[in-house]
A and B are shown apart, each in its own frame.
Chain A
Amino acid sequence: MVTRMLVKDVYGDASRIQLKARSIPIGDPSSLWVDYDRDTDSIIIYLTGKPVRCTSVYVDDNIYALADPATGDIVGLQVDAWERSFLPRHPDLQLVWPQIKKTIAPDEGWSEQLKVYLMFTALVFSQMFNAENGNGSSVALLKPI
């Protein structure tokens, strides 16, 4: 049966985890673990140097914060609809993307060039996204060191 109901009509809209901001380690690509998946058109960035236990907390516009489910500490970012939705809204990033994409081995999902590119993409996130925390006030998800 097809319904007209949205998820938020049943489950609400608010995050169930209170997110805590994290600094972006500018200038140190080794601190990033990144992956681009063509089938899902999704980017994932771990700011911890490698994947760690986390959960995806939806923020907005196909963007999830990756957070420690116990503490809410942000450990990374996940962007769905990367080419379909995110890049068309960010022309500067879209301009460079074709060259970056060529460096990504299909079976590996990453390259050193992708790491550097996404480090600066994370800075864009830090400037554009705020998230409502449990108290209704705003907290920046990411901040440059």
Chain B
Amino acid sequence: MVLVLNCVDPRGYRIVMYSDRYQNHIVRRRDYITIGSIEDTLHGPEVITADEQYELRENYYLQGVMEDYPALFLKVVVEFGGVDGKVITAFDVDRPKPTERIIWSPAC
């Protein structure tokens, strides 16, 4: 597996993404999502929420990283089951999912 992203979130947690996950899942579904936009979202999210289905997963949101539609948010789902967090998926949304619980924001 080839590492294509290795960064730290605002809480100091290291997060990685592997090429197979990026190419065979994220890009296959949405070829316009770049590694750079995922890194920006993990490095400086507007809000982090708890995933509603998976206890070990957290969702990072950042508005403005989609260059063609700056009003949109990029959602990056990260699993923290091992030493480092691992990117599971990423897709753009019109707004963060309303029912998710906020676990971090810059104002916290």
Contacts and interface: CB of A to CB of B under 8 A. Distances in A.
A binds B: yes
Interface of A: 1-13, 15-17, 35, 37, 39-42, 44, 51, 53-58, 62, 64, 67, 69-70, 78, 80-81, 84-85, 107, 109
B88 to A, nearest CB: 6
Contacts of A37: 25, 89
Contacts of A56: 75, 91-94
A9 B75 CA distance: 18
A98 B28 CA distance: 24
B104 interface: yes
Interface residues of B, number: 36
Contacts of A1: 103-104, 108
Interface of B: 21, 24-25, 28-32, 47, 49, 52-53, 68-69, 71-72, 75, 77, 88-89, 91-105, 108
A68 to B, nearest CB: 10
A58 B89 contact: no
A69 B30 CA distance: 14
Contacts of A41: 53
